[in-house]
Amino acid sequence: MEPSAPDRRSAGDAGSGSTVEGVAAPGQDDPAVVVNNLSFTYSGIDGQPLLNSPPIFRDVSFSLRPGSRCLLVGPNGAGKTTLLKILGGKHLVPRDCVWVLGSSPFHDTALTSSGLLSYIGGAWVRDIAFAGYSVPLQGDFPAGQIIEGIPGVDPKRRERVMKVMDINSDWRMHLVSDGQRRRVQLCVGLLKPFKVLLLDEITVDLDVLGRADLMDFLTEECEERGATIVYATHIFDGLQSWPTHVAFLADGKFQTFDEVKNVPHLRDGKLLDTVVRWLREDKRRRAASKRSSKTTVVFQQPLNNGWASGRMTASLSK
């Protein structure tokens, strides 16, 4: 799909339907998400691209209109999380490459602080000085305290989201199961009436009913409020009729990005079969390209050795 021209009003311009200070809401027909020729490579702490690491994306472009539900699929390591993080403003990319609700998510922090753009991904962890990296958030405090402590939330919406996620306010966070912790994490991410929601494999710990209720809620949010959702997952159970769009990311680009109604097998509800076929094709393509490649990878002494306090990273010299 060709990207549409982004809405380039700067933050603070009066936009039709603007409700949050600092964020110019796009008009109803403007795309909610626009990506223009996005290329991205991770860099080390010296700011240089990591050695021997090809770009994660090359010239990726797409756009999504309000109300779209896009399933983002692809093999492990294809870059789904990276793309969601870029859309969520967590990685610096050139301002003109990524537009969410008419603003650059990295540069215009009001997008995320207002809750209009919400990113929910990974386990609920934090880096805590002297405790370590990726420490699970499980202090002894009740779930209700976290949820009710978030300011600016409509009490009716809070009640609804807590009901959908089936949360007991008295759950003590250091005693809950992984699935219960995930429910609280989801609840927090859904409390504000987002316009764009980015989900990174968040249903992994949920039981089947919790998952079904969540997907129904998300469908309603898109159909009734015009929210836009990009959801990266490897779990396709019960998702056949959920997406309006499917994007298959592999080898640095979208091998497929289309509306479900335009892809015959997807239209017929064969989501899992189709994704498995795409994955097999991609695996064959990678094997063929490896066989034909004459490039010898030479490991060199990297400019940084990837050392950070308490952690060894993958950029260590071999």
Does residue 78 touch ligand ATP according to CB under 6 A? yes
The amino acid at residue 223 is E
Least Å from the CB of residue 144 to ligand ATP:
32
The residues, ordered by sequence, that sit 6+ positions from 91 with a Cβ below 8 Å of its Cβ are: 40, 82, 85, 106
The residues, ordered by sequence, that sit 6+ positions from 247 with a Cβ below 8 Å of its Cβ are: 62, 70, 71, 72, 73, 254, 256, 257
Instruction: For ligand ATP, give the closer residue by CB, 78 or 190.
Output: 78
- Given candidates 63, 68, 81, 274, which one binds ligand ATP under the rule CB under 6 A? 81
User: Within positions 34 to 63, which residues make up the interface with ligand ATP, using CB under 6 A?
Assistant: 42, 50, 56
Instruction: For ligand ATP, give the closer residue by CB, 80 or 195.
Output: 80
Q: Which stretch binds ligand ATP (CB under 6 A): 62-70, 80-88, 101-109, 269-277?
A: 80-88
Q: Which stretch binds ligand ATP (CB under 6 A): 69-77, 126-134, 147-155, 270-278?
A: 69-77
Q: Which tokens hold the place of 85?
A: 């993080």
Does residue 233 touch ligand ATP according to CB under 6 A? no
The mark string for 156-195 relative to ligand ATP (x by CB under 6 A, - otherwise) is ----------------------------------------
Does residue 76 touch ligand ATP according to CB under 6 A? yes
Strand order in the sheet with 57-64: 57-64, 33-40, 98-100
Contact 62, 249 (CB under 8 A): no
Does residue 70 touch ligand ATP according to CB under 6 A? no
Beta-strand runs (E) in the chain: 33-40, 57-64, 69-73, 98-100, 117-121, 125-128, 132-136, 196-200, 228-232, 245-250, 253-259, 307-308, 311-312
**Site residues (CB under 6 A) for ligand ATP?**
42, 50, 56, 74, 76-82
